[in-house]
Structure 1
Amino acid sequence: MNRSLKWFTIGLVSAWYASNIGVLLLNKYLLSNYGFKYPIFLTLCHMIACSLLSYAAIVWMKLVPLQIVKSRVQLLKIATLSFVFCASVVSGNVSLRYLPVSFTQAVGATTPFFTAVFAYFVAVKREAWLTYATLIPVVAGVVIASGGEPSFHLFGFIMCLGATAARALKSVLQGILLSSEGEKLNSMNLLLYMAPIAVLFLIPATLLMEENMVGITIALARDDIKIIFYLLFNSALAYCVNLTNFLVTKHTSALTLQVLGNAKGAVAVVISILIFKNPISATGMMGYLLTVIGVVLYSEAKKRSK
């Protein structure tokens, strides 16, 4: 029984790695290498898939019990989280048009810094001084990596920072807005409600900011039908990221999840460099390594302060 559980957990973690890294690399390929220059429409495709597949998983397949939204106030809170979530995903996709995956992962590793900042100013949550001290190498590493990045692009960097900050803000807001026992939702049910709201945000944004994207997508499909497969597969992977994240969280400890998350970023960097062959520098890699060390120290300091 223990052996079966061990292999099940290994399979879950492998699926989590594959879906996370896979959607990241495919996003990069579509937006930067393939020439599909519509990050908002790509995010819209992701959210439509998440809406449909979340409904199928919870309502039809009953993978987890359905949790009902109990009030308009709770729905408004979920809509707020959905808007921040949209901003994070769109900004992240935009950044992939201009920056290599390896550098976006280095910037993304600063999530603990933004989480601590938002927790301090928004949630008025204080940490021990040692916890804040560990954020110094996190930020210093990104500064060093930025200076040593051969493909540095200022707008892409700003978008990547925005995506990281929005991701941290969503985490903090979720703890504030859905803190009462009657309002708490597991991640799969939260996605079930957030994704359709995100679609409502993204449709007008796509029409206003990415004119004629449907016509151009159809024209691309006439030349290369594989674009349809890429979009469908990429959108399904986006849902798998959320599903496997929920399952890995459920079947492993919080500490294991932190370690696996840190390692996942490093794996994504190595694979992206091998596939896209983007130039790297020793300074950039040293900066990324320093950031990862800072994240590990931050996690350890948080654990000891509890």
Structure 2
Amino acid sequence: MSEMQYDWTFDSPNGGRQVDVLGDTQGATATIKDLLSDASAEAPAIPAPADCLVTLPGGLLRGEAIYIEAEVRELTGTDEEALARVRSNPLRFLETLLELGTVRIGTEPVTPAVLSELLLGDRDALVLAIRIATFGNEMTFDLITCPTCGEEFSATIDLNQVESHTVERPSRLTVPLRKGGYALVRYPNGGDQAAMLADSKATSAEANSALLARCLVEIRDAQGTTVPGSADLAKGLSLGDRRAILTQLAKNQPGPRLLEIEIEHEECGGEVPLPLSVADLFRDF
């Protein structure tokens, strides 16, 4: 039986020449080290897909920096199971959705504490981005009733086209009061939202008081007297001033205008309001 011969050669990474393992052991060893060194180098960063990146309308304030880029991800079956367990609690559903679907805010990984700092509009922007990353940008609605002609129709909207309002951070809002002077308020964040909705049995008036107690910075009356915000001050405001402050906060809050979406009924040309909530965006869960 003739002796079996092995031709152990491979291409060198330098110049493409072949290295003979048996005939040139030193050269082969050096080449193998080069190959291992190349393989152990830091892997190139792979950018997130475009539909997983979102620009926050307010941003996360960190010292002198404001992080406005966030990354979200597509939800999975495991996420669906987690969301199903908290579906009956709207606040817990929202918090869980944001924790599962948001990867980072700027360079910071997402934590419940970070999410609580975000303005409500930033949180809405994340919810909308998670929805697009998971299901795509198109959303179809059946059996919409046109308020102009009364006809029922279906329509598909492009969630990428939802208008958004931005503000510079940090930002406060000045609201004129009925009898002169003004209220200085800050935009509510996730922590304020949690406090407002903590008591599931609270009336809408009590929830409004809880929100104003946290977001009301100060009141300056017509004589120039300044009173710092407090729970008692929020409850002591006139009903007209309370409504004016809440209306201005809702109107000027940065973020996607989910409650202001309108579509046109092509048959009659009428404008049809189509406000969206978190529950609407994730109705398939």
Question: Smaller-chain TM-score range?
Answer: under 0.3
- Work out which of the two has the higher radius of gyration on C-alpha atoms and give 1 or 2: 2
Structure with the larger strand share: 2
The structure whose RCO (Cα within 8 Å, separation 6+) is larger is 1
TM-score by length of 1: 0.25
